[in-house]
Structure 1
Amino acid sequence: MSFATTAQRLLPVAAGLIGAAGVALAAAASHAGGEALLRPASTICLAHAPALLALAVAGPSLRMGKVSGVMMMVGTLLFAGDLASRQFAGSGLFPMAAPTGGLTLIGAWLLLAVGAALPRRAD
């Protein structure tokens, strides 16, 4: 299976799971404490879940969209996962996991912008 096909199938699944995690993290922040860590994790998830779904739906019409989507998925999991791990397990995923996730998210958005700005090839 090609990268594009795998990404096409994976991104909507990731969007659903990351969106659900965002709602769960928001509820945990409101009811179980941990506002300082769980609220930003929830926000990142709820901001990127629709973006992942949009990138999955855009299909081949968006240059570099699939790579950007996979980067967003990984960056969101690292960033939000590290914050949630700090709250619930008492330690992060690994040193610099949240900053790595954040930088990956920034890179994904920049890649998306560059891909959109590049001229389309004639098929």
Structure 2
Amino acid sequence: MRPVLAGPERILLAVAGLAGLLGVAASAAAAHRVDAPSLTIAAQFLLFHAPALIGLALLAGSGLAPLRLTRIAAFALALGLALFCGDLALRALAQTPLFPMAAPTGGVLLMAGWLLVGIAALVPARA
């Protein structure tokens, strides 16, 4: 029997696609702006994390890692990415923050997500 991706994994794949799209768009925008180092950083983070989200969605759907922990890790990365990159992009393009402490909150969520990825690798999946 082939594994089937559940709703949460499909959402993660959609978020990964959106992250890739926005990463390419932000890269293009940053290339045309001389004063946009934070937009370049946002683009890089989006493009680095898009494949990670794809991998986590597939890993969660495979049953090779603990489902709940893998999903939590992936959604922590997705939310952290939205907050961190959203704040950096808004600051670069509109000269306004997303909200106070959005980037640091997103950064902490990204770090927590990666920590959970590591923990998920060490916790055996249920048979």
1:44-93 Cα shifts (integer Å, max 9, x gaps): 10010000001111113222111111111100010000001111221111
Show structure 1 runs of 4+ deviating over 6 A. Answer: none
Alpha-carbon spacing, 1:18–1:34, altered in 2? closer, same or farther (3 Å): farther
2:21 is aligned with 1:20: yes
Alignment partner of 1:61: what SS? coil
TM score, norm. by length of structure 1: 0.90
- Choose between structure 1 and 2: higher helix proportion: 1
Q: CA deviation at 1:36?
A: 1.5
- Equivalent position of 1:116 in the other structure: 121
User: Contact 2:39 / 2:89 at 8 angstroms: preserved in 1?
Assistant: yes
Structure 2: give runs of 5+ residues left out of the alignment.
none
Task: Write out aligned runs for 1:7-86 (5 A).
Answer: 7-58=8-59, 59=61, 60-63=63-66, 64-86=69-91
TM score, norm. by length of structure 2: 0.87
Aligned sequence identity (%): 42
For the residues of structure 2 that align with 1:119 and 1:17, how far apart are their CA atoms?
31
Letter in 1 for 2:45: I
Q: CA deviation at 1:8?
A: 1.0
Moved more, 27-36 or 86-95: 27-36
For the residues of structure 1 that align with 2:52 and 2:125, how far apart are their CA atoms?
22
Letter in 2 for 1:61: L
Alignment partner of 2:6: what SS? helix
User: Contact 2:12 / 2:57 at 8 angstroms: preserved in 1?
Assistant: yes
Structure 1: give runs of 5+ residues left out of the alignment.
none
Moved more, 62-71 or 29-38: 29-38
Choose from 96, 105, 121 the match for 1:100. Answer: 105
User: Contact 1:29 / 1:35 at 8 angstroms: preserved in 2?
Assistant: yes
For the residues of structure 1 that align with 2:7 and 2:111, how far apart are their CA atoms?
23
